Each structure stands twice: as structure tokens, then as C-alpha cells.
Structure 1
Amino acid sequence: MHTHQGISVVPTNRIAWIPAGVAHHHRAHSVTDMRILFLPHSCDRLMPERPIVLLVNDLARELLLTLTGPCGYDAPEPKDRGRPARLRRVLIDELRDAREQPLHIPEPVDDRLRAIARRLRHNPADNTPLPGLGRAVGAGSRRTLSRLLRHELGMTFYQWRTHMRVYHSLVLLADGHDIAYVAHACDWSNPSGFIAAFTGLVGTTPGRYRNQ
């Protein structure tokens, strides 16, 4: 999910909330069953004013599937006309209690950081240190770049690059690649290091994620 804030990854166990009026676009990888539910404008006050990604429980998942299934879109019988609204209220209650768990790659504003971001997106396995990346794109010193990263993104360079690599690994896993291949393609020296980083950000192991 792309917004002005950057890229948010929405795996199978998450729900993305996007308030009304927020420009965005999304992209799905591999075979995907994606459900989109439009909520009444009156619900905005009950949810955050910014896009977020939430870890959902089984009840919220089933409510979303019901509301976006045939029974949610077809005209209900007269005796059931209030049912969708009741289900939406329960869903919102569940989302308000859900834990925010984003895998977010913030979009930098500074042109120097944007140039580095483009290079890392093109080749996530690039292991060039920050000073070398700075020289390659005509940026400033390591200290300057580190300060920009903390100020704009609230991350260290290591954290930022790890987020970008895990994002790329999700795409590769969706395309059916095995864990050893994905770890190597994202420049982890061994699969165990990749599994640890992936689990810390996504909340499940790569193997479980691929099988969901």
C-alpha cells in the first residue's frame, strides 16, 4: 500500500485502514484474494486519522470476509437490512482494539536519501556501506546522511535497509521462491539471520508466511 508516507506491507494476517481523502494506490503480488470494504463516512471519527496496518484476530477476519462476500454485496432481505450495519459496528470495535503492527518503509523527502532509496529498491542485496552509497549518489558525509535518516525516517541506516530487504523478501516468497534463495537474494549470509529479521518485523516465520 503506497501513500505519501511511504510503503506499508499488508501480509495475510493484517488489515490496512485508509481514511477518506487519503490518496493511495496498492499492488498485489502473486495470486491474491484481496478484500476491500468501504465504510460510511460517520465511521471516520472512530478510527485513526492516518493510514495504519493492524494485526487482526479471527473474529475481525471473518467479519471482513462476510461483509465482502455475496451476502455483503447483494441486496439483503427486508428482515436483514440492519445486519450489515451491525456487523460493521462489531468490526470497528475489533479494529479499535487491534494492535498496530506495521511493516512500513517511510518515503524520504531529501533528494539524497531518495536517490539511495531508488538504488536499494533496484538491488536490495546491495551491501555497500552508507558512506559508499553517499558517494555513489553524490550525497554528503556519513554523519550528514545518518542525521537525515534519524530526522526524516526515525531509523538508522541498518534498520531502513533491513525493512527494505524484508519487503523485497515478501515479494519473492509470494512468487514461490524457497527461503534459502530469498535469504541470498536479499544479502543475508545465512537463512537463520534472514528468518530472525523476517520474524521480528512480520510476526511470523517465512515458512509459515509462505504457507498461509
Structure 2
Amino acid sequence: MSKKAIVLQTTLELITKQGIHATSLSQIIKESGVANGTVYHHFKNKEEIITELYLMLTQDFGTVVMRNTPEDDIKKQFTVMWLNLFYYFVNNPLAFIFSEQIARSPEIPQSLKDRARQYYGEIESYFKKGVKQKVFKSYNTLIMEELFFGNVVSLVKIHENEQVKLQEKHINQAIEISWRGFLKDQTII
């Protein structure tokens, strides 16, 4: 792992454990074991580290969601997208915590959030295509994306809290409930 990657990983670990304000640059340097000069070679300050970390994770989310989606079947695409994000969060708990606690907080400036939207272009296109094909209700695609994301997050929280011993049938039920919420005609399957 490169020194830059070590700094980013250390920052992720510290921020998810104690928050942005409680994490100082000196603590990041100390915990990462990377020399001051090396850190400053890659980043001007803590805000620049957080910006890069935020953009990196946002790009991961956008890429992971669309990975291996089938070309022509909109419902299969939805299922694959849903499962991709669910398992990404289950297998990357720090990314999940960051997404929930940090990325959606007012501590991340709106200008950075707007900049990161570029990584969700394929997801937005998917929902626009579904609306255009009259499979989905004609809703604002940003709202659709957020609701999709929120449905996945809700199941991840159930998994994390072990409120229900999740089985494949529960995951499939959650996908079906989510899918039906977007459908224009509830008889379409």
C-alpha cells in the first residue's frame, strides 16, 4: 500500500471512530506512521485528505453499484445494483459508517457533494431510462437514487444490528419491496 493510501485509510478509520472534528492532522500523521513531509507532499491539510477520501469512496459507490449489470433486463439490473451496494457495505463496514455518518453530514460542504455527483451518472441514467420506458413512475431521479440507496442502507442496518438473522429470502424480499416502490404499473414484474 502506498504512503498516500495509508494516510487515506488511517483517516477513514479515525473519522469513522471519532468524527471529523475530533480527528486532527497530527493524529492522522501519528497513527499512519507516515512522515510529516510525506503527508504534506500529498496533502496540504486535513480538509484535502477528507476531500480525496470522500471523492474516492463516492466513486467506489458509483462504480460498485453498476458492476456486472445485465444489458437489457431492467429488473435484473435493479437486483444486481441492489445486491452490489448491499454486499459492498456489508463487506466494507468503514465505508458504510463513513457513508452514513460523515458523507451525509453538514461537515461535508455542498460544493463537494455536488462535485461527487459525477460518479452517479450511470445510476441516474438507469432511473431515467426506467422512467422513459414507462417502467418506473415519473419521479425526480435524484429522489429515486436516494430512496434506492436508503432501502439498501436500511437492510444493511438490520444486518449490522442483527435484528433479524438475514437469509437470502429476506434480501430478496427487500429487493422486491424496493423494486415495487418504483414501478409505474404495479402489475409489471
Alignment TM-score > 0.5, same fold: no
Instruction: Report the structure, 1 or 2, having the larger helix content.
Output: 2
Larger Rg: 1
When normalised by structure 1's length, the TM-score is 0.30
When normalised by structure 2's length, the TM-score is 0.33
